[in-house]
Structure 1
Amino acid sequence: MITIQAQKYDGMPHYTWQAKLLDLNDEYLIVLSYPETEIKHFSKNEVFTVNNWWIELYPFKKWFTISMEVKNRKPRDIYCNIAKPSSYKNGLLTFIDLDIDFAKRDGKWKVLDEDEFETHQKKYNYPVEVVNKVWETLDNLQFNLKNNYFPFDGTLETYISQIPEYKM
């Protein structure tokens, strides 16, 4: 198991949880989060429990993360965090969450939390380069989705076979 920690732009923990490492290479890390995984949310001072499996991708050079919910061995919701590139060292994966999300819920894709991005852009004084990279990344994700390019090319789905039999 490894620990994953999302951080805010100032480096403070935002939320954290543990997951099983499935793949690690020079480009990204992929993990599997189990049902009943507890996610500690620091800013809300709460602990949430996930109900299904999640296959998660954390690129080391790209400005996003992706979590794909899997129910009954089929992909369901997908959640893309716009984030600074992930970092992995000594069993700890970290990334800076930049607020805007691109998500598929109930079969529909939506951009979420633009208001939170605007608020935090001022609060944390995001440099113009970061702001531009956020919008560029969102555009790239939408383009890649439309054209079935990575990470929407079936890469995450290939890991569904690694979900063990599990009784809740």
Structure 2
Amino acid sequence: MDMSHEIVRVVYRKYDGSLHWHHRALLLGEDEHGVWTGCVAGSSGHKGDGPAVVWPYAFVILFPRDGWWTATFNAAPNKAEIYCDISTVPRWSAGEVTMVDLDLDVIRMRRDGRVFLDDEDEFEEHQIRYAYPPDVIENARATADRLLEAVKDGTAPFGAAPRWLTLVT
């Protein structure tokens, strides 16, 4: 692996600004789908101010330029091949990408290819707790519906493991 890649900080927050998942990653590059970062197996991150979580698998994350989502492509042994977080549009500034996690997740399982929408209950709860504005709710729902179909259909970039994953495995 080429270790000359720049290190960036990936920061997911909740709608109230509180820290959610965050970690360091290698900035791998860009293509027509957006900006890609990656982590080798054994990398770690934190949920909020909790203890470090070590990931025993490599993964890459796609940050689309204008989409209300991010997509993580996991290497085995992770059971989820693709994990899309519905979020606000990722914003880049001074070596950091930040977005607000909007709870809904589109997931494709590795073993059986099953695709499903997860955390709808959390999305409903957080609409009240964080007072999501109507446009945020509409964008999150519409994005989840579009991603669910794209991941099911294997529409690019969801058809096969992206070439970027080979840079961290």
Q: Same fold (TM over 0.5)?
A: yes
Task: Name the residue aligned to 1:49.
Answer: 54
Q: Give the distance between the partners of 1:16 and 1:2, measured in 2 at CA.
A: 11
> Per the alignment, do residues 89 and 26 of structure 1 end up closer, same or farther by CA in structure 2, a change over 3 Å counting?
farther
Task: Name the residue aligned to 2:71.
Answer: 66
1:77 aligns with 2:81: yes
1:134 aligns with 2:134: no
Q: Give the distance between the partners of 2:152 and 2:105, measured in 1 at CA.
A: 17
1:104 aligns with 2:108: yes
**1:90 is matched with which residue: 94, 97, 114?**
94
Q: Give the distance between the partners of 1:116 and 1:60, measured in 2 at CA.
A: 26
Q: Give the distance between the partners of 1:38 and 1:146, measured in 2 at CA.
A: 29
CA deviations 1:30-61 (Å, max 9, x no partner) are 01111111111116x23211011001101131
Q: How does 1:14-29 map to 2 (within 5 A)?
A: 14-24=20-30, 28-29=34-35
Q: Percent identity?
A: 25
Asked if 2 retains the 8 angstrom alpha-carbon contact of 1:27 and 1:61, the reply is no
For 2:95, give the aligned amino acid.
Answer: G
TM-score between the two structures when normalised by the length of structure 1? 0.85
- The 3-state SS of whatever aligns with 2:75 is strand
For 1:139, give the aligned amino acid.
Answer: D
Task: Name the residue aligned to 1:144.
Answer: 150
1:31 aligns with 2:37: yes
For 1:17, give the aligned amino acid.
Answer: H
Asked if 2 retains the 8 angstrom alpha-carbon contact of 1:39 and 1:49, the reply is yes
- The 3-state SS of whatever aligns with 2:138 is helix
Size of the aligned set, in residue pairs, is: 161
Q: Give the distance between the partners of 1:123 and 1:42, measured in 2 at CA.
A: 18
For 2:120, give the aligned amino acid.
Answer: E
Query: Unaligned stretches of 5+ in structure 1?
Result: none
Asked if 1 retains the 8 angstrom alpha-carbon contact of 2:80 and 2:107, the reply is no
Q: Give the distance between the partners of 2:145 and 2:69, measured in 1 at CA.
A: 12
Over aligned residues, Cα RMSD in angstroms?
Answer: 2.2
Query: What is the CA distance between 1:76 and its match in structure 2?
Result: 5.8
CA deviations 1:6-37 (Å, max 9, x no partner) are 00012221121011111146862101111111
Q: Give the distance between the partners of 2:39 and 2:52, measured in 1 at CA.
A: 15
- The 3-state SS of whatever aligns with 1:9 is coil
Asked if 2 retains the 8 angstrom alpha-carbon contact of 1:26 and 1:60, the reply is no
Query: What is the CA distance between 1:162 and its match in structure 2?
Result: 2.0
**Structure of higher RCO (CA pairs closer than 8 Å, 6+ residues apart):** 2
Q: Tell me which stretches of 4 or more aligned residues in structure 1 moved more than 4 Å.
A: none
